[in-house]
Chains A and B, each alone.
Chain A
Amino acid sequence: MIGRRIRTMTGRMRGWIAPFWTTLWRPSMHFSLGFLTLGGFIAGIVFWGGFNTAMEATNTEAFCTSCHEMKANVFAELKTTIHYNNRSGVRAICSDCHVPHNWTDKIARKMQASKEVWGKIFGSIDTREKFLDNRLELAKHEWARLKANDSLECRNCHQYDSMDLTRQAPRAAQIHQLYLGTGEKTCIDCHKGIAHQLPDMRGIPQG
């Protein structure tokens, strides 16, 4: 029964698609090869550029803070930290830490973010209370991600090889040498809550 229905459906589909298919594979009658090649090339540049521009637009601080979930919670907290405001005037915006810079990883993360769009539509953290209830879980996702990629987003700016340990506080220099230099630990192991308030940390290792 179901088999027959699928067969009739595919038959109908084939009847509908067939003319397009034959047109697609028949040599062009009106356009020259040069026009099609150049036109395809230019259209490729426009669409590829447009795609990446649109994706970059979703990486801006203005886009991230356009929803109140981010603006009222995590962005408000970021403002008090050194990654927002500091002596040299360099700011790390949301995407600098939360979106991989490498293109393939960025696409993968952007696809994951479709779940966040779902959350936004159905209001999974649309109040402060809901956000606080879920904060530990949300934080754990980020810790796991940074742990798995060896704190790549930290290291995009902060590289151990470029650290002048003599200009760090003695305790920082010592600990960085002991644990970061040997590769025993990664940035996120000790630097949790560097840009946001921490959830209830009972039972979670922080160093």
Chain B
Amino acid sequence: MNAIATIALLASAMLAGCGAKHEETPHRAPSAPVLVSAPDQIDPLRRGVPIDAEATPPAMARVENFDRVRPVNYEKQPPTIPHSIDNYQLTRNTNRCMLCHTQSNAQTFHAPPVSPAHYATRDGTILEEISPRRYFCVQCHVVQTDAQPLIANLYEGLNTTIPKGSAR
């Protein structure tokens, strides 16, 4: 009788041990950028989490909402949007961006107006309203978040790529 009880106790303890061993350890994706030079690192989107494991995504990034114009990183770069645009309607029916950023309203709302080039069609006709090919602002202009880049980037921007004092 005693022996049977001992065996049962042992078995249950072993089973419990097995359960603990098989418990999955969550793979937390690193929030810092990962350098992808290593040959086994082929998918930076997974941030180093093995392909057969479920990654716990990093916290959602927040949109920067400072209203300070950011410097551009290269010539002709579409300036980034320095404010949040949550629920701004940019549809076939209406364009919220142009409420403030049209040439005629920019002064009223203290907003930088879109460049005159945005009023020109492909064949150079200047329109009264924004040209249809420039209508969907967020095709080129985007908000910036505080998210860490997926992969480390060594690009240093406009100021360093053009040597100081060089005639262009």
Interface residues in chain A, defined as those with a beta carbon under 8 Å from any beta carbon in chain B: 80-82, 169-171, 174-175, 190, 193-194, 197-201, 206-207
Q: Shortest Cβ distance from B59 into chain A, in angstroms?
A: 15
Q: How many A-B residue pairs have CB under 8 A?
A: 44
Q: Is the CB of B109 within 8 A of A175?
A: yes
The contact sample of 30 A-B pairs, CB cut-off 8 A, is: A80-B87, A81-B87, A82-B86, A82-B87, A169-B65, A169-B83, A169-B84, A170-B67, A171-B67, A171-B100, A171-B109, A171-B111, A174-B110, A175-B109, A175-B110, A193-B89, A193-B94, A193-B96, A194-B87, A197-B89, A197-B91, A197-B93, A198-B91, A198-B93, A200-B92, A200-B93, A200-B94, A201-B94, A207-B99, A207-B105
Return chain A residues, CB-CB under 8 Å to B91.
197-198
Q: How far is the CA of A201 from the CA of B108 in the complex (A)?
A: 20
Interface size on B (CB < 8 Å)? 20
Q: Shortest Cβ distance from B127 into chain A, in angstroms?
A: 14
| Chain B, range 118-150, C-beta contacts under 8 Å to A | none
Q: Shortest Cβ distance from A183 into chain B, in angstroms?
A: 16
Q: Which of A80, A169, A190 has the most chain B CB atoms closer than 10 A to its own CB?
A: A169
Interface majority SS (helix, strand, loop, mixed), chain B: loop
Given contacts A201-B94, A206-B94, A207-B100, contact A171 B83 (CB under 8 A): yes
Q: Shortest Cβ distance from B101 into chain A, in angstroms?
A: 11
Q: Is the CB of B89 within 8 A of A198?
A: yes
Return chain A residues, CB-CB under 8 Å to B105.
207
Q: How far is the CA of A175 from the CA of B109 in the complex (A)?
A: 7
Q: How far is the CA of A201 from the CA of B94 in the complex (A)?
A: 6
Q: Mark B67-86, 1 if CB is under 8 A from A, else 0.
A: 10000000000000001101
Q: How far is the CA of A160 from the CA of B122 in the complex (A)?
A: 45
Q: Is the CB of A207 within 8 A of B65?
A: no
The 3 closest A-B pairs by CB, nearest first: A201-B94, A170-B67, A198-B94
Q: Shortest Cβ distance from B141 into chain A, in angstroms?
A: 16
Candidates A80, A190, A201; contact of B93 at CB < 8 Å: A201
Return chain B residues, CB-CB under 8 Å to A197.
89, 91, 93
Candidates A80, A82, A206; contact of B99 at CB < 8 Å: A206
Q: How far is the CA of A199 from the CA of B65 in the complex (A)?
A: 28
Chain A residue nearest to B65 (CB atoms) is A169
